[in-house]
Structure 1
Amino acid sequence: MSNIFLLGLTSLFADFSSEIIMPLMPFFIKSLGGAGLAIGLISGIGDAVAAILKVLSGRFADKTHKFKKLVFGGYAFSALAKFFFPLASTWPQVLAARSVERIGKGLRDAPRDAIVSESVDHHQRGSGFGLQRAMDSLGAILGSVTVLILFWKFDYDFRAIFFLAALISLLALIPILFVRVPATLTNFKPKRTLNLSKLNFSAPLKKFIGVSTLFYLGNFSFMFLILKAQQSFGHLDFKDSVALTLLLYILFNVFDTVFSQPAGKLSDCIGRKKVILIGYALLTTTFAGFFLAQSFLALLFIFPLYGLFKAFIDASQKSFVSDLSETENRSTALGAFETSTGLALIPGGIIAGLLWNANPNFTFLYGLAVTILALILLQTMIKEVRSKN
């Protein structure tokens, strides 16, 4: 479990930094002249850049056993790239900075998750991913509380806050130095070829990746949720409306943090599919809530639901992919899953942005329709599997 704690600590510092930046990002983009489409492009393309690299990074790690180096290099790249955000003066520059920063995520995620998956017994895999996810979310709470204090109490501007966040991200590199790669990941002889066409993923894994990719077409950026919340406070001045939105965002992160490990443990007990189905249902309910919400009290209910969705989905999906894949291809399988779902965020983000420009409620109707369809397909097409790996 020491690896999971160390990688969780790294995630904590990295998300501490990111969650100082990201809650303010939609407002920063709007201040630079960007609208709904710009937000959709920045979130979608940035995540897609990471997605494309994840399967390549995962395959490279499986074939060369350079898991730790890729994790360290990925976090280092992201930390350095965050220093570009305070320098941006137009929204296309934010798009470029976000895309460069996401390269680091693409390099690190699959090999990191492979280390997590093999650092605990497979019967505790959900709990292991849940702990790592909970520490990540704890960093998000620290970041969102910090940005609220800096923005509302001390009147820091966007650029000063972003620069401070970039400095904090450097702390994420320290715990990685003490991580030990599990022997089960390196017992296989490294191969020179990185040929992805020769992969033999199981049929259940391919089906799950397909259904998940559809789901992520509707799982658009949380930045639209933040903008929708801030719009409901139109009777307040900009500073106070953003502050109230940040309070709701903190509430979302609290629920994500508190329930991440319990949700992972639950998947160990009742099965991954059931927990993922609950997650899909929670996002469906969240989108319906945002479509109908007309008061602050409603938002106080909806943002915790979104936090529960994140808690139920993240660790359980990674655990399920790990269960459905062979150990020697574990990092590749996790990378392929992240690549496929991440690429779906490009059209998903563009569609959400175009609909937002027409009418913000259309964005949530779109998300509602896609997530309902994905929920039905997950229930009917995917069977529960108990891992022996």
Structure 2
Amino acid sequence: MYVADSRGTPAPTVTPEPSAAAPGTQPGRRAALAPTVLALGTVSLITDVSSEMVAAVLPLYLVAGLGLSPLGFGLLDGLYNGVSALVRLAGGHLGDRFGRHKALAGTGYALSALCKPLLLLAHTLPAIGAVLALDRTGKGLRTAPRDALISLAAAPEDRGRAFGAHRAMDTAGALIGPVLAFLILRGAADGYDAVFTVSACVAALGVLVLVLFVPGRPAPARPAAGAGNADERVSLRASLGLLRGRDLRRTGLCALLLGLCTVSDGFVFLLLQRATGIADRWFALLPLGTAAAFFLLALPLGRLADRIGRTRVFLGGHLALLLAYGLLLAGGHHPWLPYAVLLLHGGFYAATDGVLMAAAAAAVPGEHRGGGLALVQTGQALARFAAALGFGAAWTFWGPRPALGVAVVLLAAAVAVCARLRPGAD
């Protein structure tokens, strides 16, 4: 229970959610995944095909094709991953306030789909930055409402499994996207333009599936007598007041601190290419290895998090990432190095992405679910934006190996601190 502040707005109380078995389910057996989870997983699968087609070629397109420096790439990569933080709070709050999580998520997906053909027209750093900022605005609008729909549809004790299933389906798209990008680059004369065109068509299909097949969900019931005005209970001030709760505050702090010490995906793949000498034509397939490991491990690690504690699995994922950085730092043209790094990289995402949302949902009341999850997502996104800028600057001025060495030391220290800060609610 959150402690009320006598000098301000009382923080909402987390009311235990029922965990009764679904109708028709025998006692002792797990209920089937909710239709909302499966439908949103399908939308994410299709959308990730589109997004990962672009993400797979973007680092090489920017650095090799347009000649950007590592600092310039770090700026764009940080923008790509961090600008969504500016609108995540708005997306989560508006979904809670009006009970329109599906509508907000659909708007975000549509906005990102619109950006894909605009990449065909952008050939300068400011233009590409503007398109990526608009694309990430769409992602910021949709992420918290989508995760709120998933958490509200799943029983509390099954949230790790629900988020794991969704992330596995999402990552299936990440497996398909780089393969399509690779095939298009090899077969089309104007490879990059063809990738962006096909990506736009696939993104539009994802929006259509969301509109037709994702069920809407009414807002959680508001307490009636004596509970205060409903609009007050879902105000932005009340959502920010959730951070007075120990568990959500510490969960958000750990996500922020660890996010500051991570190296963005694009840099990981560029570092792996330098360490192993992988040819440019194979570069677009590197995200495929991360996605394959993520796909295989997301559901098992989600279930494990439900059993042994989500914080433990979350920190374990960062230890896997730390080991991947260590292997990149050691270098050497070992034939197993790419497989080991990509396996650990994908395992990191499987142990952290959905698991973090499942842990945060346990500390947020239903009527504030979108806004509460957005608080954690915003802190993490801002931290990763800063990390991308910092690593890009360090690479530019010190070189890749010293920059990675600093990241290893910082991440190890952050994991140690978060092990002591771990929230009590899992």
Task: Give the structure with the higher percent helix.
Answer: 1
Contact 2:98 / 2:219 at 8 angstroms: preserved in 1? no
**What is the identity, as a one-letter code, of the residue corresponding to 2:60?**
F
Instruction: Give 2:90's aligned residue.
Output: 56
Contact 1:14 / 1:169 at 8 angstroms: preserved in 2? yes
Q: Does 1:9 align with 2:49?
A: no
Q: Does 1:257 align with 2:295?
A: yes
The alpha-carbon deviation at position 154 of structure 1 amounts to: 4.8
Q: Does 1:293 align with 2:310?
A: no
Residue deviations 1:42-69, cap 9 Å, x none? 1212322201111121111111111111
The alpha-carbon deviation at position 249 of structure 1 amounts to: 2.5
Q: Which runs of 5+ in 2 are unaligned?
A: 1-33, 224-228
CA distance in 2 between counterparts of 1:200 and 1:232 reads 44
Q: Does 1:324 align with 2:359?
A: no
Instruction: Give 2:16's aligned residue.
Output: none
Q: Which runs of 5+ in 1 are unaligned?
A: none
TM-score, scaled to structure 2: 0.85
- Aligned mate of 2:265, from 207, 212, 222: 222
1:99-178 mapped onto 2 (5 Å cutoff): 99-154=133-188, 156-177=190-211, 178=213
Give the 3-state SS of the residue equivalent to 1:324 in structure 2. coil
- Aligned mate of 1:349, from 382, 388, 396: 388
Q: Does 1:77 align with 2:121?
A: no
Which of structures 1 and 2 has the larger relative contact order (alpha carbons within 8 angstroms, sep 6+)?
1
CA distance in 2 between counterparts of 1:325 and 1:349 reads 29
**CA RMSD for the aligned pairs?**
1.9
Instruction: Give 1:361's aligned residue.
Output: 401
CA distance in 1 between counterparts of 2:320 and 2:129 reads 30
The alpha-carbon deviation at position 175 of structure 1 amounts to: 2.7
CA distance in 1 between counterparts of 2:349 and 2:190 reads 30
Q: 1:70 to 1:251 in 2, by over 3 A?
A: same
| Deviation beyond 4 Å, 4+ runs, structure 1 | 153-156, 186-190
Work out the number of aligned pairs and report it: 381
The alpha-carbon deviation at position 75 of structure 1 amounts to: 0.2
The alpha-carbon deviation at position 93 of structure 1 amounts to: 1.9
CA distance in 2 between counterparts of 1:194 and 1:57 reads 13
CA distance in 1 between counterparts of 2:280 and 2:354 reads 30
Residue deviations 1:114-172, cap 9 Å, x none? 00001111111000000110011000000011112122355552122112111111111
CA distance in 2 between counterparts of 1:156 and 1:68 reads 37
Percent identity between the two aligned chains: 26
Q: Does 1:204 align with 2:247?
A: yes
The alpha-carbon deviation at position 383 of structure 1 amounts to: 3.5
Contact 2:363 / 2:425 at 8 angstroms: preserved in 1? yes
Instruction: Give 1:338's aligned residue.
Output: 377
TM-score, scaled to structure 1: 0.93
Instruction: Give 2:15's aligned residue.
Output: none
CA distance in 1 between counterparts of 2:242 and 2:47 reads 34
**What is the identity, as a one-letter code, of the residue corresponding to 1:316?**
V
Contact 2:324 / 2:340 at 8 angstroms: preserved in 1? no
